[in-house]
Amino acid sequence: MATRPVWLSPCLAGMIMGAAGSTVYYNLKLRHPTLDLPIIDYDLVLLIQPMLMLGISIGVAFNVAFADWMVTVLLIFLFIVTSTKAFLKGVEAWKKETIMKKEAAKRLEINGSGGAEGEYKPLPGGPNNGTDHKDSKEQEVSILENVYWKELGLLVFVWVAFLAIQITKNYTATCSTTYWALNLLQIPVSFGVSLYEAVGLYKGHRVIASQGDDRTKWRVHQLVIYCFLGVVAGIVGGLLGLGGGFIMGPLFLELGIPPQVSSASATFGMTFSSSMSVVEYYLLKRFPVPYALYFVAVATIAAFIGQHIVRKLVNLLGRASLIIFILAFTIFVSAISLGGVGISNMIGKIQQHEYMGFENLCMYDA
C-alpha cells in the first residue's frame, strides 16, 4: 500500500485513538494500585484535558500549514527527547524498586517468612504514605462503580462542544469572520472547565488523590504551568497526530503519579484528544478512511492484548517501572519508523524538485 506524506499524522492519530479506546475500556474496571480509587485520576485529566483539546485544534491547523519535512523533523526530535527522558525515569524507578525488594527480603528473613518476593509493591515516592491502602494488586470492579460521572460528564461536554464547533466550521468559508469566531469559541469552553478544576484544587475543594496526599497545596503558578503544558502538548499532538499522550504520560510521572495511574490517566485523556484530531483531519479531507481503518483495527486489538500482558508482567515481577520502559521503547521505535518514512518522502520530494515550504491555510483545499 502506497502512502502520501500528508497521511502520516492522520493515520497515526487514528491508530492512537483505537489503541487508547481499547486500553481505556480495560482500565475503566481497574482500581488504583495502592489506594481505594479508580486507576484513572479524573481530577488530573479534568485539569489538563480541556487545554489539551484547545491545543489540538491549533496543532491540526499547523499541520496543514507546515511543510511535511518540518513535521518529520519535529516528530523525530520530540520522540527522541521524550523517550530518553522516560527511559531515565524508568531507570530511577527500577533502582527504587530494587531497594524496596532488598528491604522486603531482609524483613522476611528476620521474620522467618518467605515466598512473597514476587508480590507487587508500589513505587517509593508514589502514594504509599496514606491511610487508604488496600491490596496492592489492582482489583477489577464494575465500570458503573468505578467511574466518576461528574468529571466524565464535563470531559464529554468539552469534546461534544469542540465537535459541534468543528462540524459547524466545516460549513463556513475558510478564514471568514464566522470561521475565526467559531475557532475563538473553543477558548471559553476549554478555559471554563479547566478553570473550574483549577479553582477547586487551589481552594482545596478538589485534590489530585492519586498523589496520596490530600493536603497538597496548589499554587497559582503551578496550575497555570500545568494548563499551559496541556496547550503545548495539544499543539504538538495535533501537529504530529499524537493525541498529546506521549507528553502527558511523562508529565504525570514528574508530578509523582505512580506509573500505572500515569499511563491510565494519560491514555484516558488521549481518547478524547486523538478522536478529536481524527474528526478534524477528516473534515479537512486529510484522513484516508479505508487505509486508516486498517491501522485503527490493528492498533485496537494489539493494545487490548498488550495491556493484559503488561499487567500480568507487572504483577508477576513486582516492577511497575516496566510500564515506563515500555513507554520509552514505544516512543523510540516510533521515532525511528515514522521518522524513516518521513525522511524517505523528503528525499523523494527533493529529487522531484517539489515545493517544500509553508502552505496557506486559507487557500488549503484537499
- Containing domain of residue 33, as a range? 7-102+142-353
Helix 245-254 with 259-283: angle, nearest 10 deg:
160
> Each residue of 202-220: pLDDT tens digit?
888 888 877 665 456 788 8
Tell whether 78 is covered by a domain: yes
Is the predicted pLDDT of residue 338 greater than 80, yes or no? no
pLDDT at 12 over 90: no
Q: What's the average model confidence in pLDDT over 277-295? A: 71
In a domain, 117, yes or no: no
**What pLDDT is attached to residue 128?**
43
More confident residue, 326 or 8: 326
Instruction: Identify whether 107 is part of a domain.
Output: no
Residue whose cell numbers read 494489539:
302
Residue 286 vs residue 321, higher pLDDT: 321
- The mean per-residue pLDDT over the stretch 16-42 comes to 81
- Residue 287: its pLDDT value, please? 65
| Predicted TM-score of the model (pTM) | 0.69
pLDDT at 187: 93
Residue 21 in any domain: the answer is yes
The pLDDT, as a whole number, for residue 241 is: 63
pLDDT value at residue 194 = 93
Task: Judge whether 366 lies within some domain.
Answer: no
Q: Total domain count for the chain?
A: 1
Q: Is residue 119 part of a domain?
A: no
Look at 222 and 193; give whichever has higher pLDDT: 193
Average pLDDT over residues 122-134: 44
CA nearest 89: which of 323, 283, 312?
Answer: 323
CB 256 within 8 A of CB 126: yes
48 in a structural domain: yes
* Within a domain: 304: yes
Distance CA 26, CA 272 (A): 16
Buried b (16+ CB within 10 A) or exposed e, 19-37: bbbbbbebbbbbbbbbbeb
